[in-house]
Amino acid sequence: MANKTNETPTSDNMVIYDSGRNVPKEAIKPILGGRLKGMSNINSMWRIKRLTEIFGPVGFGWAYRTVREWTYEGPDGAVVQHVMIELRVKVNDVWSEPIEGVGGACLVAIESGGKRTDDEALKKATTDALSVACKNLGIGADVYFAEDRGKYATAPAQAPAPAKPAAPKDRFLTKDEVDKLFAEGHRVGKPAQQMLVLCEAPDRDHILWSAAVRLMQSMRALPSVQEVKKPAHAPASATAPKGDDGELGSDDDIKALEAEIGMTL
- Is the per-residue pLDDT at 218 higher than 70? yes
> Which letter does DSSP use for residue 204 in this model?
G
Please tell me the distance from the alpha carbon of residue 176 to that of residue 169, in angstroms, as a whole number: 20
Across 99-103, 225-229, 241-245, least confident range: 241-245
* Predicted confidence (pLDDT) at residue 167 exceeds the cutoff of 60: no
pTM of the model: 0.51
1 confidence band (pLDDT: 50, 70, 90): very low
Residue 255 binned pLDDT confidence (cut-offs 50, 70, 90)? low
pLDDT the model gives residue 104: 93
Per-residue confidence (pLDDT) for residue 245, from 0 to 100: 46
Please report which helix (H) or strand (E) contains residue 20, including its range: helix 15-20
pLDDT for position 27:
86
Model confidence pLDDT, tens digit, residues 73-90: 988 889 999 999 999 999
pLDDT at 112: 86
Average pLDDT over residues 204-210: 88
- C-alpha 100/C-alpha 244 separation (Å) is 81
Domain ranges of the chain: 15-147, 175-261
- Over its C-alpha atoms, the chain yields an Rg (Å, rounded) of 35
**Cα–Cα distance, 137 to 65 (Å, whole number):** 17
Highest mean pLDDT among 34-43, 100-109, 139-148, 243-252: 100-109
Distance CA 239, CA 247 (A): 17
Residue 94 has pLDDT above 50, yes or no: yes
Residue 88 contacts residue 103 (beta carbons within 8 Å) = no
Report CA torsion sign: 34, 35, 36, 38: positive
> Looking at the domain that runs over 15-147, which CATH code has it been given?
3.30.390.80
Predicted confidence (pLDDT) per residue in 132-158, tens digit: 999 999 998 888 776 554 444 444 455
Q: Is the pLDDT of residue 173 over 70?
A: yes
Lowest model confidence (mean pLDDT) among 96-100, 114-118, 213-217, 227-231: 227-231
Tell whether the model's pLDDT for residue 70 goes beyond 90.
yes
Question: Residue 260 contacts by C-beta under 8 Å, 6 or more apart in sequence?
Answer: 168, 169
Q: Point out the least confidently predicted range of 106-115, 167-176, 189-198, 211-220.
A: 167-176
